[in-house]
Structure 1
Amino acid sequence: MDGIYRYQRHIYDLTRKYYLLGRDRLIARLNVPVGGSVLEIGCGTGRNLIAVARAWPHAQCFGLDISPAMLETATATVARAGFAGRLALAQGDATAFVPTALFGRAAFDRVFLSYTLSMIPGWQRAIGAACDALTESGTLHIVDFGQQERLPRTFRILLRAWLSRFDVKPRADLPKVLADVADARGMVLEFTPLWRGYAWEAVLRKPRRAV
């Protein structure tokens, strides 16, 4: 990751805003409870966590990333935004992390992955790790590249060629994997294709227990 983003991190947010669509929609739909906690897995430059801190001022925000270079950028960006005291960052592997070791807490009310599953080799394990980090009433939110299933073939080819330069691979079997995870864990899956399949959004919820 450092090899890919050692230099890209400096222009990452400026360039990605034009094609990492749906990130702000995900953040607006987090519905963080008062005093709740939010974890971003693969926090990159910190852009999303800063947006969460602004949208949900009562939330406790945490972020992990495997790339020291990205975390260096994120730490500086968070400090410039004035959120150093509210956002905790740590280096960790999305597929196998221990929240208590990184942040001193076992679970989070909201966990989200924004355009990270398409970059993680063991992305299925990352989904499992994210579910394990949820509180009993927690929800997992995901947005990532879809299959552009209702967009012109030429557009799909050009987009895939561009993404491959950064080792980004849209996961065609993401809907099935999420459905299997929901079934195995007794969770409820909400899956929404966005912009003719350009992006896919998903929410995994733990069912409410009867009182």
Structure 2
Amino acid sequence: MDRMYRLTRHIYDATRKPYLLGRDRMIEDLNVPPNGTVLEMGCGTGRNLIAAGRRYPGARLFGFDISAEMLKTARSNVERSGLSVCLSEGDACVFDPHAVFGTARFDRVYFSYTLSMIPDWTTALAHGLSLVKDGGRLSVVDFGFCEGLGIPARALLHGWLSLFHVTPRASLETEMARLAKASGRTLTFERPARGYAQLGTLR
């Protein structure tokens, strides 16, 4: 990851904005309670946490990423934003927020275009859910399978994504439904932009 992002981290947000669809909608739908806690699993450049901080003043913001290079950009962006965000390096499958941040569980936990880059993504998803407070929410936005765009568009997009070690998760809804049933939660799931993206929430 550090090798991939050592240079691209400097232009990441500008180049990803046109095609990482649904991130702002997910943030808008977080509905963070007053003084609530928010954890991003794989925070990248910090872009989403900064957006969440501006949308929900007073929220306590936390994020981690496996890439030390991306965290350099995240810390710089957070400093420029003037917001208070706690950041750390960590692996989404095993990260212990209590040991690092002193907070064990959160009102809102989310993955934004990260599960498609995590090899053991089902473990990461289950771990993310384990960090949600009772009454909290786990949200996911990521690449979909372009059901409404046709096979050529899907082949083109997924072929291009594979160059960056990105693999859209065909069974994301099924896995979230399994976690919902096992934890007594409800799942809402959508495929916006004609299936270009997947957007799910466990609550």
TM-score bracket for the superposition, by shorter chain length = over 0.9
Q: Which runs of 5+ in 1 are unaligned?
A: 206-211
What's 2:186 paired with? Answer: 188
Amino acid at match of 1:37: T
Q: Please give the alpha-carbon distance, in whole angstroms, between the structure 1 residues aligned to 2:102 and 2:202.
A: 24
Q: Please give the alpha-carbon distance, in whole angstroms, between the structure 1 residues aligned to 2:152 and 2:175.
A: 27
Name the SS of the counterpart of 2:115 in structure 1.
coil
1:23-172 equivalences in 2 (<5 Å): 23-83=23-83, 86-172=84-170
Cα deviation code 1:83-105 (max 9, x no counterpart):
2xx10001111011111012101
How far the C-alpha of 1:149 sits from its partner, in A, is: 1.0
Q: Please give the alpha-carbon distance, in whole angstroms, between the structure 2 residues aligned to 1:107 and 1:24.
A: 23
Cα deviation code 1:130-175 (max 9, x no counterpart):
1110111110011000111111222111111111111000000111
Q: Over the residues paired in the alignment, what is the CA RMSD in angstroms?
A: 0.7
Q: Please give the alpha-carbon distance, in whole angstroms, between the structure 2 residues aligned to 1:141 and 1:125.
A: 15
Amino acid at match of 1:8: T
Name the SS of the counterpart of 1:156 in structure 2.
helix
Q: Please give the alpha-carbon distance, in whole angstroms, between the structure 1 residues aligned to 2:72 and 2:132.
A: 26
Name the SS of the counterpart of 1:171 in structure 2.
coil
Count of aligned positions: 203
Q: Please give the alpha-carbon distance, in whole angstroms, between the structure 1 residues aligned to 2:118 and 2:96.
A: 18
Q: Please give the alpha-carbon distance, in whole angstroms, between the structure 2 residues aligned to 1:3 and 1:175.
A: 31
Q: Please give the alpha-carbon distance, in whole angstroms, between the structure 1 residues aligned to 2:9 and 2:160.
A: 17
What's 1:178 paired with? Answer: 176
Percent identical across equivalent pairs? 54
Segments of 4+ moved more than 2 angstroms: none
Cα deviation code 1:10-46 (max 9, x no counterpart):
1100000000000000000000000100000000000
Name the SS of the counterpart of 1:102 in structure 2.
helix
Given the two structures, how large is their TM-score scaled by the length of structure 1?
A: 0.94
Q: Which runs of 5+ in 2 are unaligned?
A: none
Amino acid at match of 1:164: S
Amino acid at match of 1:147: F
Question: Whose helix fraction is larger, Structure 1's or Structure 2's?
Answer: 2
Given the two structures, how large is their TM-score scaled by the length of structure 2?
A: 0.98
Matched, 1:202 2:200: yes
